[in-house]
Structure 1
Amino acid sequence: MVAAPSPANGAPSAHRRKKQPEQVRRALLDCAAQIAAEQGAHAITIQAVAAGAGVTKGGLLHHFDSKQALLAAVFSDLLEQMDREIDRSMATDAVARGRFTRAYVRACFSDRLLGERSLWAALSLAGVSEPALRSLWLNWIDGRMQRHFDTDSDPNLTAVRLAADGIWLADIMDKTGGLQRYPQNLEAVLLAMAGG
């Protein structure tokens, strides 16, 4: 084993370690997401996330100045993941009309079988009561609808997206019984209604 070089100024070697802010930030987001999925968004605390990610509370607060900022970052990260999932789905859909709606339906159903382990389920309830999260969601959906206005503004397609939202909300309200009450083939029904 090779010994680490001792610092010239006598400071501990940990202080000379190369900083990796993006990796630390990613670890904090992943830890917060895991806590939310396993215990619910209410369980996300500065202390729990810092300890889970192996950083100090000060280190966490360097990246996110409050619990609300951390929640917003986790929610934004989820929206980015949803964007990528929707874009991948749209790339394989040859029919322009309703392409975004079909991809949106698929995304809404993608983690349905996870039930109470769904991160979206955990953070969605927080989104209802947290104005900042609600604003992130509304900005995201408004941006997508502007982008896909020509292909997805038909009221019938809007009804399909709202139905997908309704099933998703129903699942959140009854995480264990939702799949029995609203079977998985509803995805196929909605996709057919959207022309898929």
Structure 2
Amino acid sequence: MTASPADAEAPLSAHHRKKQPEQVRRALLDCAAQIAAEQGASAITIQAVADRAGVTKGGLLHHFDSKQALLAAVFADLLEQMDREIDRTMAIDPVSRGRFTRAYVRACFSDRLLGERSLWGALSVAIVSEPALRSLWSGWLDSRMAQHAETDGDPRLVAVRLAADGIWLADMMEKAGGLKRYPQDFERVLLAMAEG
């Protein structure tokens, strides 16, 4: 049987379309991150992410078998972005002592002014309440600390990083109040402490 010209121009169905799993996975992560930044992590649902990405719920579940797996993947992706940002900052810092700490402080402060639109801010509550996310964070931090123990193991540098974490926690707990109590110029204060 010969296909008619109309059949030849018809779009392929999803079943016949060339599969691009990495592009679909990337779109799902990006859509979940957008939802978290716009509405908070609690708004991330399988259906909401599937709808935004233009895939079926089953298509999403093919890549992530649960909301927790999706959330963990979004968080892991965010950690990879933070890693790249820290590495870029470290690459242009000529002083080895405290280099990781200074890059960490800069990364912690980089999207503070976005407030509730910050993806880190949106995932903050999930980090506290989800053991898998806490485990990802702890593993990332332990790995970085082992990697930079010689240059950033000094207790004063640890205190600087903990101060940055404290400001992050204040932002999480108080939203706009954290920024009022600890203005953006605290970044400069912590960076100066990390250079001494």
Q: TM-score, normalised by structure 2?
A: 0.93
Partner residue in 2 for 1:73: 73
Partner residue in 2 for 1:5: 8
Structure 1 residues 5 and 40, CA gap change in structure 2 (3 angstroms): same
SS in 2 for 1:126: helix
> How many Å apart are 1:114 and its aligned residue?
0.3
Which residue identity does 1:131 align to in structure 2?
P
How many Å separate the matches in 2 of 1:90 and 1:36? 29
How many Å separate the matches in 1 of 2:95 and 2:123? 32
Unpaired stretches in structure 1, ≥5 consecutive residues: none
> How many Å apart are 1:6 and its aligned residue?
7.7
SS in 2 for 1:177: helix
Deviations 1:110-144 (A, max 9, x none): 00000010100111210111000000000000000
Kindly report the root-mean-square deviation, in angstroms, between the aligned alpha carbons of the 2 structures: 1.6
How many Å separate the matches in 2 of 1:136 and 1:177? 28
Partner residue in 2 for 1:28: 28
Partner residue in 2 for 1:59: 59
Structure 1 residues 6 and 150, CA gap change in structure 2 (3 angstroms): same
Partner residue in 2 for 1:181: 181
> How many Å apart are 1:3 and its aligned residue?
5.4
Deviates more, 1:68-77 or 1:117-126: 117-126
How many Å separate the matches in 1 of 2:184 and 2:145? 26
Contact in 2 for aligned 1:6/1:13 (Cα 8 Å) = no
Partner residue in 1 for 2:172: 172
SS in 2 for 1:65: coil
Contact in 2 for aligned 1:97/1:151 (Cα 8 Å) = yes
Partner residue in 1 for 2:135: 135
Unpaired stretches in structure 2, ≥5 consecutive residues: none
Structure 1 residues 124 and 118, CA gap change in structure 2 (3 angstroms): same
> How many Å apart are 1:5 and its aligned residue?
3.0
Partner residue in 2 for 1:117: 117
> How many Å apart are 1:4 and its aligned residue?
6.1
Structure 1 residues 4 and 184, CA gap change in structure 2 (3 angstroms): farther
Which residue identity does 1:84 align to in structure 2?
R
Deviations 1:25-69 (A, max 9, x none): 011001100111111111110000000100000000000000000
Matched residues, percent identical?
81
SS in 2 for 1:114: helix
Which residue identity does 1:56 align to in structure 2?
T
SS in 2 for 1:194: helix
How many Å separate the matches in 1 of 2:148 and 2:142? 10
How many Å separate the matches in 1 of 2:113 and 2:7? 49
Structure 1 residues 6 and 86, CA gap change in structure 2 (3 angstroms): same
